[in-house]
């Protein structure tokens, strides 16, 4: 099994907050890896509001608090109240990209193309009923097809869904798939032939 020292999670929204809960469960409770020996950082600078409760791993009592502070207390992680930046990438053995920013993805993908095998990353995406999952072991030419120059930020739910109180399981599904790819990676199983699209 691959030994890990440091994990970085970019984003504490629909995917990231659910991913952290699953990661903690499979590491700390189910003992699928030694969670207690890994330093986990989660990055986000957002405050929890009521619309987040539809699809993110927060409760009504969390409203008004910084996302990373709530997760820090719940899952024994380091909450970093800012966005992850390129200068942070080299700190981590594994990076989970759980953001709604194509600019961040472009930076992460391009950094990894130039720094082969420096770390392993998993990129989870969802927009309403569409989801995708990519990782750094997939061929570079394949990955390049899924990064664009578009900088529009979107979330796991569309505006009308939030307004109508409509939620989906997709953020949790994508988060669970990301944890499975992570487990495959640390167990030494192949991850270079899997590309998930929902």
pLDDT one-digit tens code per residue, 65-77:
999 999 999 999 9
> Is residue 103 domain-resident?
yes
In this model, does residue 194 exceed pLDDT 70?
A: no
* Nearest in space to 197 (alpha carbons), one of 128, 127, 132: 132
Instruction: Report the number of distinct structural domains present in the chain.
Output: 1
> Is residue 1 domain-resident?
no
In this model, does residue 198 exceed pLDDT 80?
A: no
> Is residue 57 domain-resident?
yes
Which CATH number characterizes residue 182's domain?
3.40.50.720
Domain of residue 75 covers 6-197
Can you name the residues that pair with 133 across neighbouring β-strands?
A: 124, 196
> Is residue 65 domain-resident?
yes
pLDDT, tens only, 129-180: 788 999 999 999 999 999 988 877 667 767 777 778 777 889 999 999 999 9
In this model, does residue 53 exceed pLDDT 70?
A: yes
> Is residue 151 domain-resident?
yes
Half-sphere exposure of 182 (CA within 13 A, CB side): 30
- Whole-number Å distance between alpha carbons of 103 and 152: 9
In this model, does residue 62 exceed pLDDT 70?
A: yes
């Amino acid at each position: 099994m691959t030994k890990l020292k440091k994990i970085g999670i970019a984003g504490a929204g629909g995917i990231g907050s659910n991913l952290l809960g699953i990661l903690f469960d499979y590491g700390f409770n189910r003992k699928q890896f030694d969670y207690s020996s890994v330093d986990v950082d989660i990055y986000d600078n957002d405050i929890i509001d009521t619309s987040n409760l539809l699809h993110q791993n927060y409760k009504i009592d969390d409203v008004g608090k910084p996302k990373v502070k709530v997760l820090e207390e719940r899952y024994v992680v380091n909450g970093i109240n800012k966005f992850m930046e390129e200068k942070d990438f080299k700190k981590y053995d594994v990076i989970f990209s759980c953001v709604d920013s194509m600019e961040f993805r472009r930076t992460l993908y391009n950094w990894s193309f130039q720094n082969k095998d420096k770390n392993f990353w998993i990129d989870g995406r969802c927009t309403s009923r569409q989801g995708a999952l990519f990782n750094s072991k997939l061929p570079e030419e394949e990955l390049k097809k899924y990064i664009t120059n578009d900088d529009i930020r979107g979330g796991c739910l569309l505006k009308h869904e939030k307004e109508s109180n409509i939620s989906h399981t997709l953020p949790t599904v994508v988060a669970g798939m990301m944890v499975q790819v992570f487990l495959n990676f640390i167990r030494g199983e192949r991850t270079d032939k899997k590309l998930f699209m929902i």
